[in-house]
Amino acid sequence: MLQRAEPQDFERVLSSMCTVPHPSAREAAERFLATNPGDPGTYETVADLEREAVDYLGDITGLSDPAGYVASGGTEANLQAIRIARNRSDTDDPNVVAPVHAHFSFTKAADVLGVELRTAPATDYRANMEAMAELVDEDTVCVVGVAGSTEYGYVDPIPAIADLAETVDALCHVDAAWGGFYLPFTDHDWHFGHADVDTMTIDPHKVGQAAVPAGGLLARDRSLLDELAVETPYLESTDQLTLTGTRSGAGVASAVAAMESLWPAGYEQQYETSMANADWLADQLSARGHDVVGPELPLVAADLSMPMTDELRDRGWRVSKTGAGEMRVVCMPHVTRSMLRSFVADLDWY
């Protein structure tokens, strides 16, 4: 079976937030595949690379002295951020307040960590601050904002969310897993330099073009990560703060290679290309009578009928739906104008 199997071709993938790795990232991943950053005392070279990766991510997110690590992805990073918030609090009944469009990983985190997840409705696809303010109380340990939502690509009012967190002495966590590599080239206020953000998720294996798995968790201060540390008496290092123990160095090395190759000019060029593609697609769909959401970042949602979306999938297009049933197209680096022209042509066929 394996000899005949081929990996997914990205030629018609329009729904994924992962993409084709940059060539340098692919090569670095292969070289460091057998290393383990979970044991930094033994695997010193990849441990040094992980510190370099965190420094790059700090530069991208406005943090001059970043703490953090390369995680398996956004789910792990979001869970760890909530774990930090829970562990530093004194309450026996912790809750987390997030907008309704927060990623489903927060539901997983609440379940695993035994915290209550309270979700507030959105207004125009962004967090409704009045609704969020009604949900926080003395047991709130974290208030979450999303910088580039998974369904629509919209950005929450991060400074206002950080201010709200401060009123109840909670942490402010920003999920920029997808948007974080596009947002530096926009006018949005979203990162550590714009607001009192405590922790952030940002994934090199999405728009950053690293190989999977290469997520990222950042913290404003190293003391926050200390909330995660457990002793490791039988390793050369004395403690470990990551959720997973053994980790392949492939993600770490590929993240460094991609960011070294692309930050900032390559990522800026990609943002401009992807945004232009999203604007073009939105115009084409609007001209055909479809209601379109966005794009605020390079993601387009439109009200195509569900049977039409299913028929497009039958023709090989990988498209997904929002919770409200709209078709959703993510203009990742592998998505070209030629691909979108072919997609629209198939759409017209129906």
Least confident of 59-63, 175-179, 220-224, 235-239: 235-239
Please write the tens of the pLDDT for every residue from 226-257: 999 888 887 777 777 888 989 999 999 999 99
Residue 175 CB neighbour total at 10 angstroms: 29
Answer yes or no: are the C-beta atoms of 167 and 137 closer than 8 Å. Answer: no
Q: Looking at residue 217, what is its pLDDT?
A: 98
Pairwise CA distance, residues 129 & 99, whole Å: 9
Q: Looking at residue 242, what is its pLDDT?
A: 85
pLDDT(306) > 70:
no
What's the whole-number mean pLDDT along residues 24-48?
94
Residue 79 tokens read as 């869970």
pLDDT(20) > 90:
yes
* Nearest Cα to Cα of residue 316 among 10, 12, 5, 6: 12
Q: Looking at residue 2, what is its pLDDT?
A: 66
Please write the tens of the pLDDT for every residue from 269-287: 999 999 999 999 999 999 9
pTM for the full predicted model = 0.95
What's the whole-number mean pLDDT along residues 323-328?
91
What's the whole-number mean pLDDT along residues 122-137?
98
The more confidently predicted of residues 325 and 70 is: 70
Pairwise CA distance, residues 236 & 301, whole Å: 50
What's the whole-number mean pLDDT along residues 112-137?
98
Exposure pattern of 315-340 as b/e (b: 16+ CB <10 Å)? eebebebbeeebbbbbbbbbbeeebb
Q: Which residues pair with 119 in a beta bridge?
A: 98
Percent residues over pLDDT 90 in the chain: 84
What's the whole-number mean pLDDT along residues 167-183?
98
Please write the tens of the pLDDT for every residue from 183-230: 999 999 999 999 999 999 999 999 999 999 999 999 999 999 999 988
Q: Looking at residue 231, what is its pLDDT?
A: 80
Helix (H, G, I), strand (E, B) or coil at 223: helix
Strands (E), 149-244: 171-175, 199-201, 215-219, 230-231, 239-240
Pairwise CA distance, residues 302 & 328, whole Å: 7
Residue 272 tokens read as 């401009």
What the chain holds in terms of domains, given with CATH numbers, is 23-261 (3.40.640.10), 264-348 (3.90.1150.10)
Mean pLDDT of all residues belonging to the chain: 94
Q: Looking at residue 6, what is its pLDDT?
A: 81
Q: Which amino acid is at 342?
A: S
Confidence band for 4, pLDDT divided at 50, 70 and 90: confident
Percent residues over pLDDT 70 in the chain: 98
Q: Looking at residue 41, what is its pLDDT?
A: 86
